[in-house]
């Protein structure tokens, strides 16, 4: 009887122990993350020329939303980042083209440029005829691994992730890595030469840090849970 009571007591304690461990792991995973969007207003963001964000961007249901035909223009984080892990939830309407740019900076030749994690409706978007223009690509430079890509359709949320450490960069979509490359490598340089950014000076994507930018192309796109972790 005593043995039975002991076994019952042990079994009843296991879920509590497991929950405590999961809770501790969750707290550990949150360390170092900085929320770039507070879910309430546009604090921490400006237009790309440094002026206040226009009414073309609004906070709706805890998300930053580029409203239809709002002509809000692109917006960027006030802060600049070099080595980082960036996570963003996004949702688009059918046919919409958008993107998240990183290392967004002023170039001596080329103006304000950034490396773009492309966001687009891969089925009904207007700019889907090249592999390096599809969702998850390094826009106009390198394509994602389509065989490994799992994407939710327009109207549903997806989670993108960009990891940049030193010269190595990774693109993730919904928990799966779909692209990795090394800035400055021979394959990288060749891809840039064949892109619309070939004349940038300094060489495109080789700046040490830059802003995070959210792109507006006229259609409705929403962003939330925008967070970043500095890796150095």
Partnered with residue 183 across adjacent β-strands are none
**Given pLDDT bands bounded at 50, 70 and 90, which one contains residue 22?**
very low
Q: How many CA atoms lie within 13 A of 121 on its CB side?
A: 17
In the numeric block, the tokens 């967004």 are attached to: 104
Query: What pLDDT digit, counting tens, does each position of 81-100 carry?
Result: 999 999 999 999 999 999 99
DSSP, collapsed to helix, strand or coil, labels residue 228 as: strand
Query: What pLDDT digit, counting tens, does each position of 111-123 carry?
Result: 999 999 999 999 9
Identify the CATH homologous superfamily for domain 35-230.
Exo-inulinase; domain 1 (2.60.120.560)
DSSP 70-81: -----EEEEEEE
Write down the H helix ranges in the chain: 2-30, 186-193
Where would I find the beta strands (DSSP E) of the chain?
33-35, 45-47, 57-60, 63-66, 75-81, 84-92, 97-107, 111-120, 158-165, 168-173, 176-182, 210-214, 221-230
Provide the greatest CA pair distance for the chain.
82
Distance separating alpha carbons of residues 90 and 157, to the nearest angstrom: 6
Distance separating alpha carbons of residues 207 and 218, to the nearest angstrom: 29
For 95: left if phi > 0, alpha if psi spans -120 to 50, otherwise beta; the answer is left
Q: Tell me the domain boundaries of the chain.
A: 1-31, 35-230
Give the pLDDT score at 30: 64
**For the whole model, what pTM was predicted?**
0.86
């Amino acid at each position: 009887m005593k043995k039975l009571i002991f076994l019952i007591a042990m079994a009843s304690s296991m879920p509590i122990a497991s929950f405590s461990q999961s809770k501790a792991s969750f707290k550990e995973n949150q360390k170092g993350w900085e929320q770039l969007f507070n879910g309430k207003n546009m604090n921490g963001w400006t237009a790309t020329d440094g002026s206040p964000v226009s009414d073309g961007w609004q906070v709706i249901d805890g998300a930053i939303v580029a409203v239809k035909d709002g002509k809000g223009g692109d917006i960027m984080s006030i802060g600049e980042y070099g080595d980082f892990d960036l996570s963003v939830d996004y949702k688009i309407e059918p046919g919409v083209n958008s993107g998240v740019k990183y290392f967004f900076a002023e170039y001596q030749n080329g103006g304000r440029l950034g490396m773009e994690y492309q966001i687009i409706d891969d089925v009904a978007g207007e700019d889907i005829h090249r592999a390096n223009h599809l969702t998850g690509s390094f826009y106009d430079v390198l394509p994602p691994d389509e065989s490994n890509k799992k994407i939710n359709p327009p109207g549903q949320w997806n989670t993108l992730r960009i990891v940049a450490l030193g010269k190595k960069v990774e693109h993730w979509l919904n928990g799966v890595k779909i692209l990795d490359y090394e800035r400055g490598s021979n394959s990288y340089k060749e891809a840039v030469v064949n892109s619309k950014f070939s004349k940038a000076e300094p060489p495109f994507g080789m700046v040490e840090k830059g802003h995070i930018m959210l792109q507006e192309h006229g259609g409705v796109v929403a962003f939330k849970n925008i967070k970043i972790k500095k890796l150095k």
